A and B are shown apart, each in its own frame.
Chain A
C-alpha cells in the first residue's frame, strides 16, 4: 500500500505567524487564516537530490572554507542525528543544509555589521544527504551568541539554522538548533515564538558524550522530525497515487 496524504500540521505546536515580542513578525504575518488544502500531487511530490549535487567536504565546516593547514577558531563540535517522520520512520537521501555565525557570533554575510570579526577560515554553511537510515552529521565550531535589533539588549542564543526537504514539498522545513543549557534560550523572543516547552526541547541539541571524539571534538545530538504520511486506504483518492 502506497502512503497517502501527510498528517495535518499542528499549527499550535509551530509558532503562530504573529508574535509581537519578535517585532519583525508584526508587519510580515498574514492576517487572514491560512486556507486548508487537501493535498494534491503538487504537495506530495518535491525536489530530490543526489550525491552528484554535493561534495564530500560540504558537511565539514572545519574544512570547507579553511585555508590549507588551518582551521576556524572556536569549540570544535559534531552535530549529528537522524531525520525521521512522525511515524518514526527514517527519511533517507534527503538534503540537510545548515548555516551559522562563527565562534564570535559574526556571520559571513554582507549585511551583518556586528563588531565581532569575520574568521578567515570559516564560511558558516554546510550541506549533506541523510543515509539510508536517515542519519546525518556535520563538523563545525560552536557558534557564538550575538546581539540583534529587537529589544535594545536582546541576544540570540548560540544557534545553527537547519533546512530540510523530506520527500514532498509539504514537508519543507526550516528551523534552528539551540544548545542544551544555554541561559539565553529562555530569554530569546524568537525561541519563545514556540509556546510549548516540549517543542522548545525538540529544538535543543543535547550533549552526546558517546559520540564525542576524545581529545578532539565534542558532540551534540539533534534529531529532526518531518511530517508523516498516512498509510491507510482512503476513498477520496489522489489521482496517480
Chain B
C-alpha cells in the first residue's frame, strides 16, 4: 500500500474557437434552439442598487478589436452577496449575478446591463472594493483569461487585490471609467497597457 498522494489531473483547456456562440449563445450564431439562452439577465428584475451599463472592446496585440470574443461576468449584488451558498447573506429573487456577453461581430464592441455590486469580503477580514469578475474566451486564447473590473467612482485605495499588483500604473487597467450613463472597460490582451490577468 503506497502513501503516495493520489490526485487526478485537471482536464486541460482548449480554445473556445471561433464558433463558441453555437454552444453558448446560439442566437448570435444565427439560430434559435433553446427555450431560453442562459446568461442574458445578470441581475434580474428585483435586485436593489444602481442599475448600470458596462461597455468595452477586447483589443489584440496589433491594436485590432477581437470580434469573436465571449466574456462571462460574475458579481455580487449591491449588498455584496454572491448567489452561492458559500456567500453569507441572501440575494434578491431572480438575481444570479452571472452573465454571458458577446460582441458585435462587425465592431467588437460589447456591453451588458446589471446592478453595481457592493463591497465583498476578501481574505483575513479585509473588504474588497466593488468589482465584477470577468472570464474571457476566444479563438486564439488557449486558457480562459480571468480579470476584474473595478469602478472609477468607488474608493479602490484599500482593495487588497489591486494593491497586490506591484506595478502601480498597471492597476489602472482594471478600473472602468464612467462616461455618461456607462462604464467603459477596454481589455488589452497584449501590448501597451496590457490588462492585468489573474491566475486565480
Contact = CB atoms under 8 A, between A and B. Distances in A.
Interface stretch (B44-52, B123-131, B176-184): B123-131
B68 interface: yes
Q: For chain A, give the interface size range.
A: 35 or more
Interface in B113-161: 120-126, 128, 131, 133, 135, 137-146, 148, 161
A103 interface: no
Nearest to A25: B140
Contacts of A141: none
B200 interface: yes
Interface of B: 6-24, 26, 29-31, 33-36, 38, 60-62, 64, 66, 68, 72, 74, 76, 82-84, 86-88, 96-98, 105, 120-126, 128, 131, 133, 135, 137-146, 148, 161, 164-165, 189-191, 194-200
Interface of A: 2, 7-11, 13-17, 19, 22, 24-32, 34-49, 53-55, 58, 64-65, 84-88, 95, 97-100, 107-112, 123-125, 127, 161, 163, 167, 169-170, 172-176, 190-191, 193-194, 198-200, 202-203, 224-228, 236-241
A125 B23 contact: yes
A53 B36 contact: yes
A178 to B, nearest CB: 9
26 contacts: A17-B143, A22-B15, A24-B139, A25-B142, A27-B60, A28-B139, A28-B190, A35-B164, A35-B199, A41-B82, A42-B131, A47-B74, A47-B96, A49-B38, A99-B22, A99-B24, A107-B19, A127-B34, A161-B16, A173-B11, A174-B15, A193-B15, A199-B9, A224-B11, A228-B7, A240-B86
B56 to A, nearest CB: 16
A56 B120 CA distance: 36
Contacts of A172: 72, 135, 144
Indicate the member of A32, A45, A64, A200 with the most B CB atoms within 10 Å: A45
Given A30-B197, A99-B23, A240-B121, A45 B142 contact: no
